[in-house]
Structure 1
């Protein structure tokens, strides 16, 4: 059984029909990527899973229907969302941001252990522990956003445009960390405009266009698909 299943999911922003009945699934232990152009519905798909957007259709997580669950409940159920633009708390320190990620954990020892585990992936954050998040570089803020999501020990990690606005060398580092997380058992749904990078590390991929899934395949096959190459890999 898939960890996550979306069946004919529709979503609206006022009169805008953002998702037009998308169907996709993510198996446990996979990296699945959702690629497409700006405005295609990629971020809306993640927000729908998290309960940030009202939807029609079926969203099942671990066999449970979460389509009507509010965001705090989907987080408690084991879904962590790293939104586009990072959205860290800029005035809080790195330490305080990480503690916010573990909002439902009462045991301070567990919080400390999880923080140390985050530093295994992101040693630079340990060096910045008492620094305000908003004063760090874009790459460091992205690392903090992912580390904060990991503080909940999620079953599923939703990543929305993790490479956006970052220097190429930092992008490479972020994608290496995503792969490392997956190798250690993390299931990941990755939304990414950098289709080449995303398909390089993903197991499977979906192509979304104007709110509809138009292609689904093994990531390696999507890399050589003519439509994908012309639309998303050119240059």
Structure 2
């Protein structure tokens, strides 16, 4: 059984159809990447999964449970953590308060502390900035905080939307190394990324989406060598 299964998903924004029969799967332990140009439907796919965009037709199953159009707080409680494009941290809250927001449903303080220490293993800078307001941090630090907040949920599936956007190349390298580490620790990852080369290098499998439709799919290392993908996204 697939961890995540999207079956013929169609999603609209008003009268505009954003997704046109999306079929895709993510298996436990994988990194799966979704690549495509701006406006292709990548972010809408993640929003449809997490409950932030309403699916008109089709079904979405997670761990065998039908989550189609479940509200975001329910998909979160089932083990899906969504780090949206633009990070969306709480700028006026401290680093510590942002992290605690990720564990809002956990009552056991020892569990919260354990998860926070785990976040610090990946992002030691956050430990040094606990009382700093999130909005005063650099873009790279805010991305680390956004991922850290998601990890506080202890997700089975981590969905990352454009984690490298606007970051310096050296920070991008760090973020992708951490994504690989998280996957090696057992977290399944669905990655939306415009940096197609970086994404396909670490992905087990990939999907190429164009104007709301899946046009290509395959193993990450195979898609890197695909002429159509190279011309459109790797040139």
For the criterion TM > 0.5, the same-fold answer is: yes
Partners of 1:61 and 1:140 in 2: how far apart?
A: 31
Indicate yes or no: 2:210 matched with 1:209.
yes
Partners of 2:63 and 2:93 in 1: how far apart?
A: 33
Indicate yes or no: 2:112 matched with 1:105.
no
Counterpart position of 1:78: 79
Counterpart position of 2:200: 199
Indicate yes or no: 2:145 matched with 1:144.
yes
- Once the two structures are superposed, residues 127-162 of structure 1 have per-residue CA deviations (whole angstroms, 9 ceiling, x without a partner) of 111100000000000000000000010000000000
SS of alignment partner, residue 179 of structure 1: helix
Counterpart position of 2:36: 36
Counterpart position of 2:184: 183
What is the aligned length? 234
SS of alignment partner, residue 5 of structure 1: strand
- Once the two structures are superposed, residues 161-203 of structure 1 have per-residue CA deviations (whole angstroms, 9 ceiling, x without a partner) of 0000000000000000000000010000000000000000000
**Structure 1 residue 112: Cα displacement:** 0.9
Counterpart position of 1:23: 23
TM-score scaled by structure 1? 0.99
Indicate yes or no: 2:224 matched with 1:223.
yes
Indicate yes or no: 2:119 matched with 1:96.
no
Cα pair 2:34 2:208 within 8 Å, conserved: yes
SS of alignment partner, residue 163 of structure 1: coil
TM-score scaled by structure 2? 0.99
SS of alignment partner, residue 88 of structure 1: coil
Partners of 1:19 and 1:184 in 2: how far apart?
A: 32
Partners of 2:149 and 2:36 in 1: how far apart?
A: 26
CA RMSD of aligned residues (A): 0.4
Cα pair 2:48 2:69 within 8 Å, conserved: no
Cα pair 2:85 2:161 within 8 Å, conserved: yes
- Once the two structures are superposed, residues 82-115 of structure 1 have per-residue CA deviations (whole angstroms, 9 ceiling, x without a partner) of 0000000000000000000001001111111100
Partners of 2:210 and 2:67 in 1: how far apart?
A: 25
Which structure 2 segments of 5+ residues have no match?
Answer: none
SS of alignment partner, residue 173 of structure 1: helix
Cα pair 2:85 2:163 within 8 Å, conserved: yes
Cα pair 2:95 2:132 within 8 Å, conserved: yes
SS of alignment partner, residue 92 of structure 1: coil
Partners of 1:208 and 1:116 in 2: how far apart?
A: 37
Counterpart position of 1:126: 127
Which structure 1 segments of 5+ residues have no match?
Answer: none
**Structure 1 residue 233: Cα displacement:** 0.1
Partners of 1:105 and 1:175 in 2: how far apart?
A: 28
1:56-75 pair list within 5 angstroms:
56-75=57-76
**Structure 1 residue 28: Cα displacement:** 0.1
